[in-house]
Amino acid sequence: MSTGNLISTLAAGVAGIALMTGMAHAQSDEPFRLIVTHLEPPLVPNSVMDLALELGYFEAEDVEVELVRVQQTPSALAALQAGEGEMANVGVDALLQIINAGATDFRAVNSPNKSLPFLIAAKEEIATPADLAGASFGVGRVGSLDHSLSTLVLSSLGVDIDDAELVTLGQPSVRAQALAAGQVDATTMSIGVWSELPDQTGLHVLVDQDTYYEGAPVVNKVNAVPGNVLEERPEDVEAVIRALTRLSRDFAQDPQMWIDAMADARPDVDIAVLEMLAQSFASSWSVNGGMSASELAYTVDWLYQTEDFAGQPRLAMEDWVAFGPLDAVLEDLGVDETMDPADR
């Protein structure tokens, strides 16, 4: 059976099971518009939003989802404010900023891909993080996101990034090229940039993405909804979260399912790359909705220490998060204890 036929069969099966078991959660005949900040399914767990549509997981929950594609979080938040969508996948920092600016009814309800897929890559002679002392380390700029997070990560591993020679290089792709060319000894990049390096000879992953997130558990993106949607379409909000959570669990249990789905959605990507990515995402799926209270609190603590939040009033958790819809979904599905903490 071809990949396309397999995906069609899976989608039909999911929808059929939902109908047979009575698991229909439609509340409105109007489409539920989900605003995303990518133009095609991305090579990260956030692809679950695109693939839930393609594989029929939204349909199985009896909610008609339309994806509204924009570029970057500011456009997504502007579209959400203008009523051009019911939910938007946005950066936590921008969500806090817009709430502080007056959009006080916006709330984060789940996170299909909470973490930046960062890792630290290095020359093979940098065998351990401790070997970074005296070595050159490429950063976007001093104080940039990659520099700030890597400082936390390396500190958790007993290494002071200031013991390395910091080299300002700009964008991740430029830093990766500099590493490959031997111009720096190590740098931070995403798993996607690492996978696209044409020649990794003499290089290796010094700190993998799971270790990186453990050292700096900053939640990067969440799905946010305005208050009127929470009030008027709560069952549809839960249906969308339920579909994303179900598919995240299925991908976690069967990585080949993600590989096959992405091969169909992104034929431009080599299967070997998809297989490598699937392995790297093994423990990254939001099987409980990606809304750990302790990780969200850590994120806020970190953000309010940055220059962008200097002098701004600190938001309490209830001012920007609504756990209710996700908790209702987890009450229905149960909590998966294998990953993604569901602490409250």
Would residue 202 count as lying in a domain?
Answer: yes
- The pLDDT tens digits for 116-153 are 889 999 999 999 999 999 999 999 999 889 999 999 99
Would residue 342 count as lying in a domain?
Answer: no
- The pLDDT tens digits for 234-258 are 999 999 999 999 999 999 999 999 9
Cβ atoms 252, 287 nearer than 8 A: yes
How does DSSP assign 273-288, residue by residue?
HHHHHHHHTTTTS-TT
Instruction: Sort strands 118-123 and 203-207 into parallel, antiparallel or unpaired.
Output: antiparallel
Task: Kindly tell me if the per-residue pLDDT of 22 is higher than 60.
Answer: no
Would residue 272 count as lying in a domain?
Answer: yes
Instruction: Check residue 26 and give its pLDDT.
Output: 60
The residue with greater pLDDT, 142 or 18, is 142
Claim to verify: residue 306 and residue 328 sit in the same structural domain: yes
User: Which amino acid is present at 11?
Assistant: A
Instruction: Check residue 249 and give its pLDDT.
Output: 98
Mean pLDDT of 176-189: 97
Claim to verify: residue 231 and residue 325 sit in the same structural domain: yes
Mean pLDDT of 78-87: 97
Instruction: Check residue 196 and give its pLDDT.
Output: 86
Mean pLDDT of 321-327: 98
Would residue 311 count as lying in a domain?
Answer: yes
Provide the Cα torsion 190, 196, 198, 199; round to 10°.
30
Task: Kindly tell me if the per-residue pLDDT of 222 is higher than 50.
Answer: yes
CATH number at residue 191: 3.40.190.10
Kindly report the length of the chain. 344
Main-chain dihedrals φ then ψ at residue 166, nearest 5 degrees? -80, 130
**Confidence bin at 7 (pLDDT 50/70/90):** very low
Give the residue numbers spanning the domain of 108: 3-114+219-333
Task: Kindly tell me if the per-residue pLDDT of 284 is higher than 80.
Answer: yes
Averaged confidence pLDDT in the chain? 92
Claim to verify: residue 308 and residue 234 sit in the same structural domain: yes
Q: Which residue has the tokens 């995240």?
A: 248
Instruction: Check residue 51 and give its pLDDT.
Output: 98
SS3 321: strand
Instruction: Check residue 1 and give its pLDDT.
Output: 44
Instruction: Check residue 329 and give its pLDDT.
Output: 98
Give dist(CA 17, CA 9) in Å, integer.
12
Claim to verify: residue 52 and residue 199 sit in the same structural domain: no
Mean pLDDT of 270-297: 95
Instruction: Check residue 21 and give its pLDDT.
Output: 39
Mean pLDDT of 261-284: 95
Mean pLDDT of 322-326: 98
Task: Kindly tell me if the per-residue pLDDT of 11 is higher than 90.
Answer: no
